[in-house]
A = this chain, B = another copy of it.
């Protein structure tokens, strides 16, 4: 009997100072010529450190481009200009640039080095890219990175709200797994228990030290990385994405202002876990409280009306995707939480 085979990154470096060793890691993999795709508005010091390290180790940068927008069309444009002699793509920056870089590398069949400069979501090591195609948001399969290089000092220096966003995205694993198990009971959706247990475990292990210290950031990076592995094991995004992501997608489609993905999914996970029942609501609450997550929400409160709409639309966002929202009208319970939970004071207008 064969057992499933999953790909994992060949090289992982999650440590302080990793950016300054980027060239060393690329060179050790036997690569000599790379393409660098990075975020717009990336700090000059970060870009400079990456380029310096590559140069120092004799790695030629055959092409350097800013990623303009997170679309399949942009990835295909980049595919068209990749020099034929390049043997790897380095994606440097935030979530959007990395999604495009990962997709372009996957199309070209090249080794991909994910070098996140913040930890705002779990996309840097997932087997999908979230991109628009013909203007519509899609989640498309992409190869897991060949390498993940996360410099803890760089990530520590990213804006506080991005850290909160990563924590929010992480909390949504609890609700995603609960929805997955619900879908099994309600509709027989197959659950891969290994992926589900691993996904839950990523939240638990972050709870051991949910601080913005180097160690705490290493735990967060590890958690988000292992989430990518759990999606690879599951062969789907189910272990990482449930009703809380449906709500976030619906907010993206209908809300007035774009907000950080993880602020949306984290808040939604808190609300949905209350409806799902069980001990996770309190755990998510404690984690968000401890880390000051709500401060980042309060800085620009959500619209209660928009959330009401989003929660109504959420069950229809994906075909054949059963969650707690397929089973009951969650709005009354959620509205009550929004109105009366002291933790949420000031988080909604």
A contacts, CB < 8 Å to B:
1-14, 29, 31, 72-73, 76, 79-80, 84-85, 87-88, 107-111, 133-134, 136, 140-141, 143-144, 146, 192-194, 197-198, 200-202, 204-209, 215, 218-219, 222-223, 225-226, 229, 233, 235, 279, 318-320
Q: Of the candidates B5, B8, B198, which one forms a contact with A226 in the assembled complex, judged by CB atoms under 8 Å apart?
A: B198
List chain B residues, Cβ under 8 A from A319. 84-85
State A246–B269 Cα separation when bound (angstroms): 44
What is the chain B residue whose CB lies nearest that of A73?
A: B76
Which B residues lie within 8 Å of A140 (CB)? 79, 107-109
A201 CB contact (under 8 Å) in B136, B201, B235:
B201
- With both chains docked as a complex, state the minimum distance between the C-beta of A177 and any C-beta of chain B, in angstroms: 12
Min CB distance, A145 to chain B, in Å? 8
Q: Is the CB of B7 within 8 A of A5?
A: yes
Q: Among the listed B84, B111, B318, B320, which residue makes an inter-chain contact with A1, where contact means beta carbons less than 8 Å apart?
A: B111
Which chain B residue has the least Cβ–Cβ distance from A133? B80
Contact of A144 (CB < 8 Å), options: B3, B198, B226: B3
Q: How far is the CA of A124 from the CA of B208 in the complex (A)?
A: 26
Q: Evaluate contact between B3 and A9: CB separation under 8 angstroms.
A: yes
Closest to A233 in B: B8
Docked Cα-Cα span, A225 to B201, in Å, equals 12
What CA separation (Å) do A213 and B279 show in the bound complex? 14
A9 CA to B4 CA, complexed, in Å: 7
The complex places the Cα of A136 from the Cα of B109 at a distance, in Å, of 18
A10 and B4 form a contact (CB under 8 A): yes
Contact of A14 with B193 at beta-carbon distance under 8 Å, contacts A29-B1, A72-B76, A205-B204 already known: yes
Residue in A8, A85, A133, A208 with the greatest tally of chain B CB atoms within 10 Å: A8
Q: Is A12 in contact with B194, judged by CB distance below 8 angstroms? A: yes
A–B Cβ pairs within 8 angstroms, 22 of them = A1-B10, A1-B31, A1-B87, A3-B7, A3-B9, A5-B5, A8-B233, A9-B194, A72-B76, A80-B133, A85-B319, A107-B107, A107-B140, A109-B140, A194-B225, A197-B222, A198-B222, A201-B202, A204-B204, A204-B205, A204-B208, A207-B207
